[in-house]
Amino acid sequence: MVSRYAVDADIAGASTLPAAFYRDAAAWEATRERVFARSWQWLGDVADVAAPASVSPRTLLPGLLDEPLLLARAVTVDVLGAHDPGVLSASSRARLSAGHSFSES
């Protein structure tokens, strides 16, 4: 976190952060990256990709992280998720959209 703010690890000594923390752009940016970007977030229901070879584009924490995601169901793999659809090769994306089995090598 931004070094000018301290949180006591002992709950008995902990206190509320000063109001300036909540207005500090650098603290907000650090919080976005160190807390929200590293935590588990609900992406959606698997029913959204119920059919084999279906895909459903998502945005992780819209208005906060705005991270584009792709939830996909392949023919031979239950559910796939990628924060960058570019991590799937063009041929794998084509096989996935055509309903063929998925194998990334």
In a domain, 105, yes or no: no
In a domain, 79, yes or no: yes
Q: For 37-56, give one letter per residue: b (16+ CB within 10 A) or e.
A: eeeeeebeeeeebeeebebb
- Same domain, residue pair 55 and 30: no
pLDDT over 80 at 104, yes or no? no
* CA-based R_g, the chain, Å: 20
- Same domain, residue pair 74 and 31: no
- Same domain, residue pair 50 and 91: yes
- Same domain, residue pair 21 and 60: no
pLDDT over 80 at 49, yes or no? yes
For residue 58, count other CB atoms closer than 10 A to its CB: 17
In a domain, 53, yes or no: yes
Dist. CA 43–CA 7, nearest whole Å:
30
Average pLDDT, the chain: 74
Range of the domain at 32: 1-39
Provide mean pLDDT across the span 92-101.
50
Q: What is the pLDDT of residue 44?
A: 81
- Same domain, residue pair 74 and 50: yes
- Same domain, residue pair 52 and 90: yes
- Count of domains forming the chain: 2
Read off the pLDDT of residues 50-87 as tens digits, 9 standing for 90 and up.
888 888 898 888 888 888 888 888 776 555 555 555 55
- Same domain, residue pair 91 and 57: yes
Q: What is the pLDDT of residue 23?
A: 92
